[in-house]
Amino acid sequence: MATETDADLLIIGAGPTGLYAAYYAGFRGLRVAVVDSLPELGGQITAMYPEKAILDVAGFPSVKGRDLVEGLVAQASTAHPAYHLDRTARTLRHGEDHVVVGLDDGSEVSAGALLITAGIGKFSPRPLPAGDGWLGRGMEFFVPSFQPYAGKDVVIVGGGDSAFDWALHLEPVARSVALVHRRDAFRAHQRTVDAVRSSEVEIITRAQVTQLRGEETLAEVEVTVDGEEPRTLPCQALVAALGFVADLGPLQEWGIEVEKRHVVVGPSMQTSLPRVFAAGDITEYPGKVRLIAVGFGEAATAVNNAAVAIDPSAHVFPGHSSEG
């Protein structure tokens, strides 16, 4: 099998951490290739909440997910990375001074080192039991854009951050928004919960959506509250924000030490395998905090240490980017 791409560093995962790692690898003078199973750059941000305001990125009091990804892509472009999108890494084998990763399209990428920035891995949304057959007919799992919901009656099912974020952002756009959750307690950040409670969003707890009705497209839903008779809500758009199931997929078969679906790393961000590093939400170590800001720092640490694995004469610390 012919090797499609040769690179100094192969990055698996094109979310924020992977994009920043691509930039930083270019800063270190490394040739970069990036693989992602999604068809677009940006990882979960692009797929799930491009319109969400992100508040914990240094230097930005608030930045939309879409704008953050756009800036990271522009920054990464200085490294001229070779992108392999809509492809999944399947196999890993080690050579004497390199690794080779096989992709699901039959191609291979050979690199001096591998950096895994795959977030939570490949993710799929948890299904809504009553929603079978309604996907694309009024029911969706994500809200990549708010405009399609303008003037509609929207029902959001869930009690996590995504459910409350979407409720808050859709309230001024939609005709009405109702949030249905099976418990009284919520997993969402308290500040967002308070903001939704102060809005016009109707919050229905101890409840489940038990039926979706309509002809070609959704028109109304039945909501059953514990101890009460079912009620009918007008609904032309339902968002099933029930979370998702994460799967590390083939990575688990590579012999990497994994703990609770996360890749275990040391201080240099190296995994249990030689020439294989990891950064971002996928990593696990004592005191780990899963924030985008943390992922950026881990990416720089991983790239600097990978540079030495690729070229033993290199230094871990490359100097500051502001130095002439």
Structure tokens belonging to residue 3:
């090797």
What residues contact 55, with CB distance under 8 A and at least 6 apart? 61, 62
CA distance 193 to 173: 19
What residues contact 173, with CB distance under 8 A and at least 6 apart? 146, 147, 149, 150
44 assigned to a ligand binding site = yes
Bridge-based pairing of strands 258-259 and 139-140 is unpaired
| Helical packing angle, 292-310 and 16-27, nearest 10° | 40
- Taking only the tens of pLDDT, the chain with its 324 residues reads 445 779 999 999 999 999 999 999 999 999 999 999 888 899 888 877 777 788 889 999 999 888 999 999 999 999 999 999 989 999 999 998 999 999 999 999 999 999 999 887 666 788 999 999 999 999 999 887 889 999 999 999 999 988 998 999 999 999 999 999 999 999 988 999 999 999 999 999 999 999 999 999 999 999 999 989 999 999 999 999 998 777 777 888 999 999 988 999 999 999 999 999 999 999 999 999 999 999 999 999 999 999 999 999 999 988 777 665
**How high is the pLDDT of residue 123?**
66
CA distance 170 to 154: 8
What residues contact 279, with CB distance under 8 A and at least 6 apart? 17, 21, 115, 116, 117, 265, 269, 295, 298, 299, 301, 302
**How high is the pLDDT of residue 317?**
85
Check: CB of residue 284 under 8 Å from CB of residue 264: yes
What residues contact 88, with CB distance under 8 A and at least 6 apart? 35, 37, 103, 104, 122, 249, 250
**How high is the pLDDT of residue 122?**
66
CA distance 282 to 118: 6
Residue 52: left if φ>0, alpha if ψ -120 to 50, beta else—which one? Answer: beta
123 assigned to a ligand binding site = yes
27 assigned to a ligand binding site = no
Instruction: Decide whether 5-123+245-310 matches 127-242 in CATH topology.
Output: yes
**How high is the pLDDT of residue 266?**
97
- Quick one: fold of 5-123+245-310? FAD/NAD(P)-binding domain (3.50.50)
CA distance 192 to 170: 13
237 assigned to a ligand binding site = no
Structure tokens belonging to residue 46:
């692009």
Phi then psi for 97, rounded to 5 degrees? -135, 25
Structure tokens belonging to residue 232:
């009918």
CATH class (in words) of the domain with range 127-242: alpha beta
Strands ordered across the beta sheet of 231-234: 207-214, 218-225, 231-234
> Cα Rg for the chain, rounded, in angstroms?
22
In 3D space, the residue among 174, 182, 173 whose CA is nearest the CA of residue 242 turns out to be 182
> How many other β-carbons are positioned within 10 Å of the β-carbon of residue 259?
9
**How high is the pLDDT of residue 210?**
97
Secondary structure class of 71 (helix, strand, coil)? helix
36 assigned to a ligand binding site = yes
281 assigned to a ligand binding site = yes
Report domain extents, the chain: 5-123+245-310, 127-242
